[in-house]
Every structure is written in C-alpha cells, then in structure tokens.
Structure 1
Amino acid sequence: MKTQDQIWLIDSTLRDGEQRADVAFSHEQRKAIAVMLDHLGIPEIEVGTPAAGQDEIDSIRRLVDLGLDCRLTGWCRALTEDLDAAEQANLTAVHFSLPVSCVLLSALGRDRGWVLGQLHRLLLDATRRFEFVSVGMQDASRTDVSFLLDLACTAAMHGADRVRIADTVGVWDPLATWDVVGLIREAVPDIELGFHGHNDLGMATANSLAALQAGADSVDVTVNGLGERAGNAALEEVVMAMKIVLKCTTSYKSETLSSLSDYVAQASGVPIAAHKPIVGKQVFRHESGIHVRAMQRDRRSYEPFAPAEVGQADSVTVLGKHSGRAALHQAFAESGIELNPEQLMDLLQRVREQASSLGRSLLPAEVMRLYESRST
C-alpha cells in the first residue's frame, strides 16, 4: 500500500489552470487558492510563469511571502531569461520545459541537438541558482521512447531533481502511459519521476493513476481539471482515486475539496457541471427504485464514498419516472404520512406519469399536490 509520502501531488491551477482561455485570477484570488491548497495538504504548487511579466513576478512574490508549508515552483521555458525571472520572483524551485516531439520542434524551428544542448546548459545554470530543479519533456506522448530515455538519463546525470513527462495534448491511454513511465522509471531509478496529463480524450485522471502505478513519484493536477482546451487531471478526482483505487493512506483534508472547487469555479468563471465526479452538485442524487431501496439498507450499495468525505451535502432521494415504492413510502413517512399499499401504488403511477410528461423529477411540493388531489 502506497502512502501520501510516496505520492507527490503538484497543483498547477495557478499556472496551467489559469492558461485556460478567458481565465485570469486576481492577486487576491491567487492568494486564496494557494492558501486553500496548502490547507488541503498539497505539497507543491506551481504558482505561475515568471517570464509572463512584472505583474506575474509581483504576484508570485506575494505568494512566496505567505510562508506556506508547501513548495512553490515556477514554470519556465527552456531559456536563461526565464530562469532569471524565476529568480526575481524569489522562487527556490523551478521547472523548465523542453519541447521534445518532432511536431513541436518543427513548429519552433528547433532540433534534437538543440534540446540536448539546452538541457545541459540550463541544468548547469539552474542547479547553481535554485534548491530544486525539475525538467519537463513537453509532448512526450508524441515522441519516440528512445529519445525520452536519452533525455531522462542526461537530466539525471547532470543534477536534475525531477524529470516530468507530459501528455501535452492528451493522446495517451492508461496502457501507453504505464508502458512509457515504467521504461523511464527503470532507466532512471534514482531521480524523481513526474507525469503531467491533459484531458483532451477524457483520460487525464486514468492516465495519472496509471503513471503512479508504473512508478511515477508525482502527478500534476488542477482544481476542477481547469486548464487549456479540455483541461488537466482533476485534483479532486486524483485525491479520491488515490484513496479508493490505489488504497493509498493519505492525510489530505478531502472534506475541503468541495469548497475549494466551488471557489475556483467562481473565481475562474467556469462552472462545475452538475454531474462532475466528486464535486458536482447532483452526484449524490438518487432516483432509481432499485438503488434507493438498497441504499436504505446500506448507503455503500450505490455510493463509493460518503458525501461528507468531500464536503458535499448528504445524499438526496428524488421522486420521478424511475422511482419505486420504497422511495415514495420513505418520503411520506418522513412527513408523518403513512400510505397504505393501494395509495402507494396509485400515487407512484401518477408520479411516474407526471415526471415523464415534464421530462424531470418532481419537486416535493408537486408530489404532495398529487397526494392531496386524491385525498380531497
């Protein structure tokens, strides 16, 4: 069984999350998010891109001055001037990202010789200036594995603290992720290995778990999966999957996840889908008669974890087209009304008919009106 100490989550909401089109956090919002992440127990926050300008540098300095318990890391391009900006932001940890796929190198007018040369030059510089240096392989998922292995070995040889491979456009599946991460882990067993997943095909969380199972030490996440295009691996999903799927003992304060997600949704202007795993407002609503009856006996029948574990309100049973007698009986019993079998079946039929007609479940007041219409 893995422990939290063996899995390092890096939250990139303030960097990759804010890179989503139409999102820009204020200084106060960035501070609030950082404090909430620190309270949750996140060990590392990627706080931004210092080379974006003086305003970004000033914002990062304010975060550094908070004295949070977690590591604060700046994201840099593979350029000396980006390291200079990170130093100006008072950061002690940096991550610089190298484009490694033929697609990106062609688009940027670079080649593999430049990548290897820049890796060596920047590591020599960065390891003298920063306490922690992470090296990223951007678009690793569209790069042949032999080149990734060469880069990982070179980074380890020249003093990098971590190597991070990125599925930049979200085209890996869990099996491919597991294969490549496993090969790199075997080649460089003594360096921290990280994974950065995007959600273009809806597999970012699954790929992150596969990376951890294959030997990665860390994965990158963002609150609500906020990020460019379809976003990133969602923090709340990865935290709960670590606990439930990987059977990982953690000290993350998962009960704060919903409030954190709500705040980031409000600050970013990107609402949370009602059915969003973990933090969606309707993921603990139940209607199906079979489900409700089983849950009356054992809530675990159709819920993998209790709503309170993630700061959600208690489960709700709604009445509609798929409801059964048990749910209807319980709803009226809670109101102090005992329905006889004949009343129960008659009312259930009318509830189902009206729900089908309206195309939704019924409100409690609507169900009560149906009952009262037969009682008068």
Structure 2
Amino acid sequence: MARKQFFWEDSISLPSRIKIFDTTLRDGEQTPGVALTPRMKLEIARALDELGVDVIEAGYPIVSSGEEEAVKAIASEGLNAKICALSRIYQMDIDAAIRCDVDWIHIFVATSDIHLKYKLKMSREEVLRKSMDAVEYAKAHGLTVHVSAEDATRTDPEFLMRFYKAIVDAGSDSIDIPDTVGVMTPERYFNLVSKIKEVVKVPIAVHCHNDFGLATANTIAGVMAGAEIVHVTVNGIGERAGNASLEEVAAILKLLYQIPINLDLRKIFKVSRLVEKYTGIQVQKNKAIVGDNAFTHESGIHVHGILCKPETYEPISPELFGRERRVVIGKHSGSHAIAEILKKHGLMLASNEISEVLREVKERGDRGEVISEDLIVELALKRKRRKILKLKEILLTSSIDGCACLVSMEFDGREITAMSYSQSPIDAGIKAISKSLKELIDAEIEDVRIVNRNFISEVEVTLSLSESKICEYAVDRDPVKAMALAALNAAEKLLRRIEICRG
C-alpha cells in the first residue's frame, strides 16, 4: 500500500525483508498466571504457521518433560515455519533441544555485570569461552544457531562487541540484541544496533520488552538501524509489562514502511483471539489492531465522516486484519449513526423520527445508560421490549466419569430442557446450551471467551447464523451460568432480528 509522505523524505536504507520470530509460546508463556498445555501450544503453533511467521520459538525443553513433549510435537508437525527451542549455554540444555529435532536453537547468556556477579557468578572470560563452546557444540549437531546476550542494553558496550564478535567467529548464524528489562529509548536503541551492525556480518534480531511502553517503538528503531529479524508475541504478552506486539510491529512494517513480511494480516485477529482464549489474558479494548475498539466509532462527526468516506477517520481498513467496522451509539452519536443502524435492521425512518430517536438516546446516555442496537430498534418501532427467552435452571453434577449439565429455559411460556455430558464442566455446559438453543434457532456457538477475576466469571459468547454473528456478554460467580446467560442474550438478539426481517 503506497503512501505519500507529506512530512518527511525517507533518508534511511530499509531492509528488503524482515523475518518474524514469534516467541508467544516461550516468552509469552512467561506472562504471570499463564500455563499452556502441550495441546494448546500445538494449536497456537499451527495458527502462527498459517499466519506466516518465519520462526516459532516453541519453548524451553529443559525446564520440564511436558515442555519437551510440546516442543517435540510442534517440531514434528511439518509446519512451514522454522521451529526453535530456547537453551542456556549448557550442554544438557542443547541436548534437550537436539532431542526435540528442532531447526533452530536460541542460546542465551547474560552479559551485564549485574547478571554476571549476582546470577551467573562468572567472569566475562568464562562467559565468552562457554558461549563459544555452546555455539560450536550446537553447530556440530546441525542446528541453526541464534544467540542472545541477555541484558545487552545494560552491558558494557566494549564487552558486548567482544561477545558478539566471538560467537559469530564460533559459528553463530544470527545474533539477538535483547532489551531485557525495557530500558532503551528508540534513538539509543537505533544507535546500539547501528554500531553492532558495523562489526557483525550476520543477521541481527531485536527483542524488546515493554516496561516503559516502548517495546514496539524500539523494535521499529532496531529495524531502521538494520536489524533483519524481530522478536514479537501475539497481543504483546510476556514477562512483566510484556513484549513487542506482533500485530503492531507487523502492521507498521508492512503498511507504514512497506517492508515485505511473510504474514497474512487477515489472520491476525483470529490468532489474537486464540491466544487470548488459551492464556486467559484479556486484550485491552483500546489495543491497536486487535482491541475491541480499534475499528469502533461513536462520535457523531466521526461516524458521519466514516459513513461518507472511511479514510476520514480510519488510517487502515479493518478488513486488512480480518475485522469489521463497528458503529456504536452513545450521547456523542449523531443522526447518521442512528440511520445506519436502522438500515442494517431493514428499517427506514423519516428524518424527524430519527431525530426523536436520537434525542432519547442522548437523554439516556446522559443518565449513564448503555445504548444497544436492540434499544435503537425498539425506540424506532415505538414498542417496549419484552423478554421472550429466560433461563430457568442450570444444574451441574460431576463424578469420577465426568460432568453432566442440565439446562432449562423458557421461550414464550414453553419450557425447553437439554442435558449433555463431557469430561469438563465448561464443555458439558456448552453442549447442553447448544442442544437447547437448537430447539429454537439453527445457530452455532462459534466462540466462548471466559475471564475469571476475583471469583467472578466474565463470559462472552458468539453465536452465528448464516452470515449473522452476535456477541453477548454476561457475568456470574458460576462460569457455566454466565455462559448460559450470554448465549441466551445472543439467541434473543438473533430471534428479534428474524422477527424484524419478517415484518
């Protein structure tokens, strides 16, 4: 996508292509509270491969038998991406990676004085010697070697240069410059990468943490300085404040700098939601590219512009990322937004009638009420909403053989009951709810997102029917009940849409 540069002329030589090194399954899993099973890691790896990442850091096999099993399974999956395992400079770590039959090995060792003194208890010379031995050993076993100087940005610059020269001489195929504790600024990181680029003639990677909110900016600065590989995680998850975000870095490289990358951007949102689901780390609503509000508009002036010409308030199209534009209604909305929503539901009102609906919307917004599409439709139809679908009972029992879930609901006075069995209460609940809804509407539960906080479950359920998708949200101490309430809310919306379409 060519862009005219209004404010500057590019004065730097950009790389011809950038490799995406995804570390969601390794550094991302180090997010506090996150633990992925081998099955979850394999599913995420498949999604990353479909997305087009070049290297997948699958894990750290020496830490546990389960981790080794996961890395081995991903390596044997026959993916297009190169599969990488993390390793310290010790032979037992490298042997664990070899057993997994990975393509790459990411060897890391701390180089800053604070780490040498208090963590490794080694001299600089010991670190140099053992690092070179590790590189030579890994190369002798046919691995592509990628080496990180942990805490590089707090390492003595002269020693850092010596370290990188030594490991390249030992045979390292590429190097990484980690800002391990996120203390770099873009201009300082640019200078550091530039200086290392002058003396090291292998590809350079950048790995940035977000402690000061600069991970993405520093990553781009590293690329501007000549780095050819970027370390990123989906949704920016990772230790402490996280890592550079895959979706942000990818969008900036491809759309703002036109640097070729191998990713299919249309699949980013799907991968983001998969990682959110399995990690339980909810994406903040205003997160760039993948947040709920990234392509959502409320303000009247903005919505008018968007409806006339999307580029007025959208620098990038939501469809590029497999997303859709949303217009929401609130006290900042104007008549164009009201008309657009009613049009979507097959309703046409005169301008004075739209003004009346808008007036009531603003009054309700001033009272702090949440304005839904359903309410807009109801105001337009001049009728009060009557709850037609109610949850009567949900009963969950468990035994050594598994879980059973009974769901009872009422639709216009008719009782509908369904029961299902599974190994987990959540799965049993999903099946029972699906079975009961099938009595009313041929919709599928497409996605369920559950976030547990302070003994409260927040659940979002997506129902799909033909081309229509409805997301609804509910909260309860019982996650299965919250899921049922959200599913019923979504089903009622679909039923009302059908009612409106029928006239």
Please report how far the alpha carbon of residue 69 of structure 1 lies from its aligned counterpart in structure 2 after TM superposition.
1.3
Q: Deviations over 1:222-246 (max 9, x none)?
A: 1111211111111112111111222
Match of 1:198 in 2: 209
Match of 2:124 in 1: 112
Tell whether 2:71 aligns with 1:71: no
The correspondence of residues 1-376 of structure 1 with structure 2, limited to 5 A, is: 6-108=17-119, 109-188=121-200, 190-312=201-323, 314-334=324-344, 335-340=346-351, 342-358=352-368, 360=370, 362-371=371-380
Relative contact order (alpha carbons < 8 A, sep ≥ 6): 1 or 2 greater? 1
Q: Is the 8 A contact 1:265 1:272 kept in 2?
A: yes
Q: Deviations over 1:22-57 (max 9, x none)?
A: 212112111111111111111111111121133322
For residues 372 and 49 of structure 1, the distance between their equivalents in structure 2, rounded to whole angstroms, comes to: 59
Instruction: Indicate the larger mover: 258-267 or 3-12.
Output: 3-12
Instruction: Indicate the larger mover: 69-78 or 348-357.
Output: 348-357
Would the alpha carbon gap of residues 96 and 346 (structure 1) be closer, same or farther in structure 2, given more than 3 Å must change? same
Q: Is the 8 A contact 1:73 1:94 kept in 2?
A: yes
The amino acid across from 1:319 in the alignment is I
For residues 25 and 229 of structure 2, the distance between their equivalents in structure 1, rounded to whole angstroms, comes to: 18
For residues 128 and 151 of structure 1, the distance between their equivalents in structure 2, rounded to whole angstroms, comes to: 20
Q: Which runs of 5 or more structure 1 residues have no equivalent in the other structure?
A: none
Q: Deviations over 1:164-206 (max 9, x none)?
A: 0101111112111111111111121x21111111111211111
Please report how far the alpha carbon of residue 131 of structure 1 lies from its aligned counterpart in structure 2 after TM superposition.
2.9
For residues 114 and 278 of structure 1, the distance between their equivalents in structure 2, rounded to whole angstroms, comes to: 45
Please report how far the alpha carbon of residue 370 of structure 1 lies from its aligned counterpart in structure 2 after TM superposition.
4.5
Please identify the structure whose Cα radius of gyration is greater.
2
For residues 164 and 81 of structure 1, the distance between their equivalents in structure 2, rounded to whole angstroms, comes to: 22
Q: Deviations over 1:314-359 (max 9, x none)?
A: 211112121123323433455433333x555454343222112115
SS of the counterpart of 2:83? Answer: strand
Q: Is the 8 A contact 2:190 2:221 kept in 1?
A: yes
Would the alpha carbon gap of residues 324 and 207 (structure 1) be closer, same or farther in structure 2, given more than 3 Å must change? same
Q: Which runs of 5 or more structure 2 residues have no equivalent in the other structure?
A: 3-12, 384-503
For residues 193 and 249 of structure 1, the distance between their equivalents in structure 2, rounded to whole angstroms, comes to: 17
For residues 333 and 124 of structure 1, the distance between their equivalents in structure 2, rounded to whole angstroms, comes to: 67
TM-score by length of 1: 0.92
Count of residue pairs brought into register by the alignment: 370
Q: Is the 8 A contact 1:329 1:339 kept in 2?
A: no
Would the alpha carbon gap of residues 321 and 82 (structure 1) be closer, same or farther in structure 2, given more than 3 Å must change? same
Higher strand share: 2
The amino acid across from 2:375 in the alignment is E
Would the alpha carbon gap of residues 363 and 222 (structure 1) be closer, same or farther in structure 2, given more than 3 Å must change? same
Instruction: Indicate the larger mover: 116-125 or 29-38.
Output: 116-125
SS of the counterpart of 1:358? Answer: coil
SS of the counterpart of 1:90? Answer: coil
Please report how far the alpha carbon of residue 142 of structure 1 lies from its aligned counterpart in structure 2 after TM superposition.
1.5
For residues 325 and 15 of structure 2, the distance between their equivalents in structure 1, rounded to whole angstroms, comes to: 28
Q: Is the 8 A contact 2:16 2:259 kept in 1?
A: no
Please report how far the alpha carbon of residue 161 of structure 1 lies from its aligned counterpart in structure 2 after TM superposition.
0.6
SS of the counterpart of 1:46? Answer: strand
For residues 83 and 262 of structure 2, the distance between their equivalents in structure 1, rounded to whole angstroms, comes to: 20
TM-score by length of 2: 0.69
SS of the counterpart of 1:14? Answer: coil
For residues 166 and 70 of structure 1, the distance between their equivalents in structure 2, rounded to whole angstroms, comes to: 22
Please report how far the alpha carbon of residue 157 of structure 1 lies from its aligned counterpart in structure 2 after TM superposition.
1.9
For residues 40 and 260 of structure 1, the distance between their equivalents in structure 2, rounded to whole angstroms, comes to: 8
> Percent sequence identity over matched residues?
33
Higher helix share: 1
For residues 198 and 47 of structure 1, the distance between their equivalents in structure 2, rounded to whole angstroms, comes to: 19
Q: Deviations over 1:247-282 (max 9, x none)?
A: 123442111111111111111121222222111222
SS of the counterpart of 2:315? Answer: coil
Q: Is the 8 A contact 2:19 2:262 kept in 1?
A: no
Q: Is the 8 A contact 2:38 2:67 kept in 1?
A: no
Q: Is the 8 A contact 1:93 1:130 kept in 2?
A: no
For residues 186 and 80 of structure 2, the distance between their equivalents in structure 1, rounded to whole angstroms, comes to: 32
Q: Deviations over 1:99-138 (max 9, x none)?
A: 0112222221223222222222222222212331111011
The amino acid across from 1:324 in the alignment is G
Q: Is the 8 A contact 1:3 1:250 kept in 2?
A: no
For residues 131 and 156 of structure 1, the distance between their equivalents in structure 2, rounded to whole angstroms, comes to: 15
For residues 269 and 339 of structure 2, the distance between their equivalents in structure 1, rounded to whole angstroms, comes to: 31
For residues 3 and 143 of structure 1, the distance between their equivalents in structure 2, rounded to whole angstroms, comes to: 27
Please report how far the alpha carbon of residue 17 of structure 1 lies from its aligned counterpart in structure 2 after TM superposition.
1.1
